[in-house]
Homo-oligomer: A and B are copies of this chain.
Amino acid sequence: MNNNDFAKLLNENAQKVEKALDDYLSNKDDNGLAQSMRYSLLYGGKRIRPFIVMEAYKLFSGDASVEKAIPFACALEMIHTYSLIHDDLPCMDNDDLRRGKPTNHKVFGEGVALLAGDTLLTYAFEVLASNNLVSDKSIRLATLALSKCAGFSGMAGGQMIDLSSMNNIKSFDELKVMHSLKTGALIRCAMLLGYYAACDNPSKDIIDDIESYATNLGIAFQIRDDILDRIADCETLGKPVGSDDKNGKTTSLTFMSVDEAQGLVDSMTKDAIASIEKYYDDKDNRSLIDLANYMVGRNK
């Protein structure tokens, strides 16, 4: 695809997800909790993780309609959103801004923000298990993938390393482990959810390729984030610039220059692409490859 077509696809998918997320929350009484959930969940973003779910579904099913994958895509976005709300809390990263808006707890208070995160995390599994278009086996595989990727051996485990060793990461390899858990896990999960929506009898080879795509892309994405924190301006980024430096946080730039880091982003993106290239025919929209390239070049 050319850049315009890719941007169009990204936008179309994002709108489908936004609509579905809005529907999932529309039947909730507005007692403040739903309002707080909605504030962080519905913001019209690019929805990169849901995009991966939908495009992985298309890739592994050959089905251009993504109806079967949308509940899984929404569940993952709820998990992602809960983690942002909790990470922003004063006892974690203590951030006041997220995507250019006040963070959830700044608007609704810490208690409600905590509860909104808990409720989004819980609701993700309800949405997952309510997907009536796929088999019980697919739901079970998806539940396992989501809980593992979000939990102790995934995102939450990565957050614990982040929390406990803010100034104490001794090598780039240690940092990569953390990024693989914090960011790679949800990309892996996105790929797996798309695959399980397409198929309830998974192949080990495909899982291995998914693993390689996700780990490389996840680390590349996070290093790119470190670079942006250093070089972007506040308006472009939608959050304070240089907050990592200000907080004395260990990032990839603790161990290398911006140019070296960008070189690594490029080579890991290439490895990510190599893992999944074989699944595309010549005539296909190579959307997950375009996504990888897009993530290297993103400005925010």
**Is A114 interfacial (CB 8 A cutoff)?**
yes
Q: Are B163 and A144 in contact (CB under 8 A)?
A: no
Docked complex Cα distance between A164 and B31 (Å): 9
Q: A31-B164, A114-B92, A156-B33 are in contact. Are A122 and B150 (CB under 8 A)?
A: yes
How many monomers of this chain does the complex have? 2
Is residue A112 within 8 Å, beta carbon to beta carbon, of the partner chain?
yes
- Min CB distance A64 to B, Å, is 27
Question: Once the chains are docked, how many angstroms separate the CA of A87 from the CA of B210?
Answer: 38
Closest to A111 in B: B91
A140 is an interface residue with CB less than 8 A from chain B: yes
Complex Cα distance A159/B118, Å? 11
SS class of chain A's interface: helix, strand, loop or mixed? helix
The docked-state distance in angstroms from the alpha carbon of A126 to that of B146 is 8
Q: Give the docked Cα–Cα distance between A111 and B90 (Å).
A: 9
CA distance A82 to B114 in the complex (A): 12
User: A123 at the A/B interface (Cβ < 8 Å)?
Assistant: yes
0/1 per residue, A155-174, Cβ < 8 Å to B? 01101110110000000000
Query: Nearest-CB distance from A92 to chain B (Å)?
Result: 5
Complex-state Cα separation, A112 to B126, whole angstroms: 26
Q: Is the CB of B89 within 8 A of A156?
A: no
A147 adjacent to B163 (CB under 8 Å): no
Contact between chains at B130 and A139 (CB < 8 Å): no
**What is the CB-to-nearest-CB distance from A131 to chain B, in angstroms, rounded to a whole number?**
10
A151 at the interface (CB under 8 A from B): yes
Which residues of the other chain, B, contact A163 by a CB distance below 8 angstroms?
A: 111-112, 115
Interface set, chain A 87-114, CB cutoff 8 A to B: 89, 91-92, 109-112, 114
Name which residue of chain B comes closest to A91, CB basis.
B110
Beta-carbon nearest neighbor of A128 in chain B = B143
Interface pair B136/A123, CB less than 8 Å apart: no
User: Footprint of B on A, CB under 8 Å?
Assistant: 28, 31-34, 82, 86, 89, 91-92, 109-112, 114-115, 117-119, 121-123, 125-126, 128-130, 135-137, 139-140, 143-144, 146-148, 150-152, 156-157, 159-161, 163-164
Q: Supply 6 A–B pairs (Cβ within 8 Å), ascending by A.
A: A34-B152, A92-B111, A112-B160, A117-B118, A119-B151, A122-B152
